[in-house]
Amino acid sequence: MIKLKNIYKTFNQSTVHEFTALKDISLSIKKNELIILKGASGSGKSTLLAIIASLLKPTSGSVIVDNKQVAKLPDLHASKFRAFEIGFIFQSFNLFEYLSVKENVSVTLIPLGLKQDEIDKKVKRALRLANISHKQNAVARDLSGGEKQRVAIARALVNDPKIILCDEPTANLDKKNSLSFIEVIKDLKEKGFTIIIATHDSIFDSLQNVDKVVKIQNGEIK
């Protein structure tokens, strides 16, 4: 489903601040796999996620996602690719604090030009999958950290993506809520999603049903 070949990513090329974040990364991920990208902060794992999602373009190399070459997509096509193929769960929750849970999840669908009844149907399903339906009318600022994370999960799921990318998803959670997040991830894998988690959190070391742990150090797979 995802094939990366000889990926390099260099920032600030040809300047005194030139820095190569990824070096010759090659990786294949099958449909419905749960992959852990393990590495310390600054190892390059977040950059790799961004390249898979077409948020960043590699300096060189090939990125194929679901038989689509996405490494060099123009910005408009990259946006459409993300809108329909990718669900992204960020380290920070990135919620609109004064909107309700339902409104926060709905925002993702606005650019797609869907009818309201279709939006409502998708939001309802996403809230159910993330186990946050009971808070749909609550204002985001009044939620706990764990509840905000579930809203972020619902927002990532609302566009029916094939792939879920998680960037340090437990960084702002305590152990109880981190374990709760893991239970949601297990459930989503069972439902057929392809999931990639970038983390340095040791709580994922004992996560069951992981298909592959990819260790990244200084921009290279070890």
Q: Identify whether the C-beta of residue 18 lies closer than 8 Å to the C-beta of residue 196.
A: no
Q: Considering its fold, how many domains does the chain have in total?
A: 1
pLDDT digits (tens, 9 = 90+) for 145-173: 889 999 999 999 998 898 999 999 988 88
pLDDT band per the 50, 70, 90 thresholds, residue 207: confident
% of the chain with per-residue pLDDT over 70: 100
Q: Does pLDDT of 111 surpass 80?
A: no
Assess if residue 12 is contained within a domain: no
Assess if residue 162 is contained within a domain: yes
92 vs 152: CA distance, rounded Å = 9
The pLDDT of residue 82: 86
pLDDT digits (tens, 9 = 90+) for 61-98: 999 998 888 888 888 888 888 888 899 998 888 899 99
Q: Kindly state the tokens that stand for 114.
A: 């869907």
Assess if residue 183 is contained within a domain: yes
Range of the domain at 127: 33-57+73-221
Q: Which DSSP category does 139 fall into?
A: B
pLDDT digits (tens, 9 = 90+) for 3-55: 999 999 999 888 888 999 999 999 999 999 999 999 988 899 999 999 999 99
Model confidence, pTM: 0.90
Assess if residue 47 is contained within a domain: yes
Assess if residue 13 is contained within a domain: no
Assess if residue 215 is contained within a domain: yes
Q: What is the CATH number of the domain that holds 81?
A: 3.40.50.300
Assess if residue 152 is contained within a domain: yes
Task: Give the sign of the dihedral formed by CA 112, CA 118, CA 120, CA 126.
Answer: negative
- Residue showing tokens 């702002």: 172
